[in-house]
Amino acid sequence: MIKTGKEHLEQIRDGRTVYIGDEKIKDVTKHPAFSRAARTVSQLYDLKHQTEFKEDLTYKENGEEYSTWFIQAKNKNDLRKRSKAHKIIADHTSGMMGRSMDHVASFVTGMSTSPEIFNNDNYKFSENLLNYYQHMKNNDIFASYAVVPPQAARNPEFYQKRNLPIPTLSVVDENDKGVVISGMKMLATSAVFANEIWIGNLIPLAPDQVKQSITCTIPCNVEGLTLWMRQPLSNHYDNQFDAPLSWNQDETDVLVMCDNVLVPWEKVFVMNDAIQAREIYFKTPAHCYGNHQSNVRYWSKMELIVGLCSKVAKATGADEVPAVRETLGKMSALEATLSGMIFGQIEKAEDWPKNYKTFNRRIMYAALNFCTDNYSMIIDELRTLCGGGVFQMPASVKVMNNKELIEDFEKYFQTPQMNAINRMKLFKLAWDVVGSEFAGRQLQYEKFYAGASFIIRNHNFRETPWEDFESVVDKVMDKYDIPNKTNKAAE
C-alpha cells in the first residue's frame, strides 16, 4: 500500500493526547503549532504518487507496491535505490526534518533481515518482529521512536534510596493479553505526526534493569499514552517569508509518558533481557540502515548551507575576496567529503547478514562522526559570512505593505549585486539556519542526534579492523632487525 498525504492526515486525527504546557491539543492537523508541519509530512507521502518520483520512492514485490525504504537489500542496486529515496525525501525539507517516515522504517527493515536475533532461551519474538515489519510495509506506517531514558532517570540509585519510583519506562505488569508499561522515554521526535511509536533502548542497560529492557510498539492514540511537546517553533510567525524553515518544518520533539499502557504480546520484541535490548540494533543492520538515512539527510542540509554560503558572499560582493573564496572552497570540500562517504557506503557494501547486502558500517559511522563533529563549525562559517547583514533587515516583510516605507526600503537596502527584496529573502533564510530558535534546535539536534560524541566514537572503535592495521605495522617492522643480526649480504 502506498498512502496518500490526505489519508495520512486522516489517520493522525485519532484522539491522541498531546500537550503544549497545559494546553491539550485536540487535532494536530489543525492546531497552528503543528498544522503546517503536518502538511509537509503529507507532501512527503504525496511525492510517491508523483510521476517524477514514483519509480525511485516505490518498488513492487509479489504484485504489491511498497515504499522503497522497506526494501531488504540483496545487492548494491537495492542499496542505491534506498539511498536515492532517502535523498529525495530529505531534499524536500532541505534535511531539516530528520525523523521523516523513512527513518524508523529503515531500522525495522534492517532488523527484519536477521529476525533470529529476537529469540532467546525465554522468548521467541522473531515472528513478532517479522509480522510488524510486514504491518509497516503493508500499511505504509510512519513510526517514531523513543529509545533513550530521560536524563534524570539515569541514576536509579537516587530514586531507590528515597523509595521513589524510577521514572524510566518499565514493565509494571503482565497478563494473558500482554505487558503493561509505565514511565517516561525520550525523545520521540515527529511522534505527533506519526502513526506509532517504537519503544526501545539504544543506551546500554545494567544487567539488573530487565524491566526497563522492554522493546515494543504502541499506537500514538493508545489509552494511557501522553505526548508532552517542547515549546513549538512555528507559531511565532504569521508568514513564511519571515521564517522560511520554522514556518512548516518544525518536526517537534516529544517526551513519551506512559501510564499503565497495555501492549499486546504480538507487539513485544524484547522482554526481560537487558543485553538483547540493545544488541538488536547492532547484531542486525538496523542501526546501519537507519543511520545511512541520517547521513543522506544531513547531506541535503549541507547542500543548502553551501549554497547559502555562496549566495550570501555574492550578495555582499565578498566573493571576490581571496579569504572568502578560501572559505567557500572549504565548505565545498566538506560537502564533497560527506557525499563521498555516502557513496562509499554503497560501493564498499558488506555481505551481511547472510544473503543480504548492507551499507558499509565503518564508513557509515565515520560519516556519523563527521556530521556530529562538524555541524557547529559549518554553521559558524555561514554565520561569519552573514556578518551583521541578518540584523540589518527589517523585522518583517510587511514593510512592503507600507507605501511610505517601500521606496526607502528598495532604495537603501539594495546592493550592487542584489535588489532589496531578494536580499531580504536570502538573509531571512540564512537567519533561520544560523540564528533563529529553529536554528538553535537544529544545532542541538545535530550535535546529539546519535548520542554524545564518545558514543559515536565507540561505534567507530567497534567497527575498526584493528588487526589489519596492526599487521601493516608488523610488515614494516619485519623488514628490519637488531643491527648485529642484519644479513651482511643485504647491506
* Average of per-residue pLDDT across 120-130: 97
Average pLDDT over residues 118-138: 98
What does the pLDDT average to over 109-115? 98
pLDDT beyond 90 at 158 = no
Asked if residue 165 has pLDDT above 90, the reply is no
Give SS3 for 491.
coil
Tell me the domains of the chain and their CATH numbers. 5-282 (2.40.110.10), 286-473 (1.20.140.10)
Which has the minimum average pLDDT: 269-283, 350-364, 404-418? 404-418
Question: Residues 305-314: what's their mean pLDDT?
Answer: 97
Per-residue cell: 83: 539511498
Any idea of the CA torsion for 149, 223, 101, 190, to the nearest 10 degrees? Answer: -60
pLDDT above 60 (res 378): yes
Length of the chain: 491
User: Given a cut of 60, is residue 490 above it in pLDDT?
Assistant: no
- 286: pLDDT strictly greater than 70: yes
3-state DSSP percent of the chain in helix, strand and coil, to 5: 55, 15, 35
Least confident stretch, 56-60, 182-186, 388-392, 421-425: 388-392
Q: Which helix (H) or strand (E) holds 470?
A: helix 466-477
pLDDT for res 234: 87
Is the pLDDT score of 163 beyond 90?
no
Instruction: Please provide the average confidence, as pLDDT, over all residues in the chain.
Output: 95
Q: Which helix (H) or strand (E) holds 24?
A: strand 23-25
What's the farthest any 2 CA atoms get from each other in the chain?
95
Confidence grade of residue 489 (pLDDT, cut at 50, 70, 90): low
Q: Which phi and psi angles does 357 have, rounded to 5°?
A: -110, 145
The C-alpha cell at 458 is 565507540
Evaluate the CA torsion angle 348, 349, 353, 357 in order and state its sign.
negative
**What integer is the mean pLDDT of 407-417?**
91
Contact residues for 91 (Cβ-Cβ < 8 A; gap 6+):
300, 303
Task: Name the strand (E) or helix (H) holding 453.
Answer: helix 453-463
CA distance 338 to 226: 38
d(CA 53, CA 76): 20
**What's this model's pTM, rounded to 2 decimal places?**
0.95
Here the cell at position 322 is: 581571496
| Tens-digit pLDDT profile for residues 414-428 | 989 999 999 999 999
Q: What is the mean pLDDT of residues 468-477?
A: 98
Cβ–Cβ < 8 Å for 179, 127: no
CA–CA gap between residue 215 and residue 281 (Å, rounded):
11
In angstroms, rounded to a whole number, what is the distance separating the alpha carbons of residues 208 and 210? 5
Q: For the CA atoms of 417, 93, 106, 215, what is the dihedral angle to 10 degrees?
A: 120
Q: Which residue has the higher pLDDT, 165 or 268?
A: 268
Region 118-140: mean pLDDT is 98
pLDDT at 449: 84
State pLDDT tens for residues 441-452.
999 999 998 888
* 63 burial type by CB count under 10 A (0-12 exposed, 13-18 middle, 19+ buried): exposed
Joined grid coordinates for residue 452: 554524545
Continuous H helices in 387-419: 389-392, 403-412
Distance (Å, rounded) from C-alpha 133 to C-alpha 146? 18
- Give me the mean pLDDT over the 102-108 stretch: 98
Distance CA 43, CA 41 (A): 5
What Rg value do the Cα atoms of the chain yield, rounded?
25
pLDDT at 491 over 60: no
Q: Cα(426)–Cα(420) distance, rounded to whole angstroms?
A: 10
Cell of 122: 525465554
Q: Are strands 18-20 and 268-270 parallel, antiparallel or unpaired?
A: unpaired
Q: How far is CA 437 from the centre of its chain?
A: 19
Rounded CA-CA distance 444/436 in Å is: 13
Which is nearest to 367 in space by CA: 449, 304, 423?
Answer: 449
How far apart are the C-alpha atoms of 305 and 471, rounded to whole Å?
Answer: 41
Share of the chain above pLDDT 70, in %: 97
| pLDDT band at residue 487 under the 50/70/90 scheme | low
pLDDT tens-place string over residues 20-65 = 999 999 999 999 999 999 999 999 999 999 999 999 999 999 999 9
Can you read off the three cell numbers belonging to residue 57?
520512492
Q: Which of 290-299, 407-416, 457-466 has the lowest mean pLDDT?
A: 407-416
Q: What's the burial of 236, exposed, middle or buried (CB within 10 Å: 0-12/13-18/19+)?
A: middle
Going by pLDDT thresholds of 50, 70 and 90, the confidence category of residue 164 is confident
The stretches of 24-168 forming alpha helices (DSSP H) are: 35-47, 51-57, 76-92, 101-112, 126-139, 156-161
Condensed to tens digits (0 to 9), the pLDDT of residues 212-234 reads 999 999 999 999 999 999 999 98
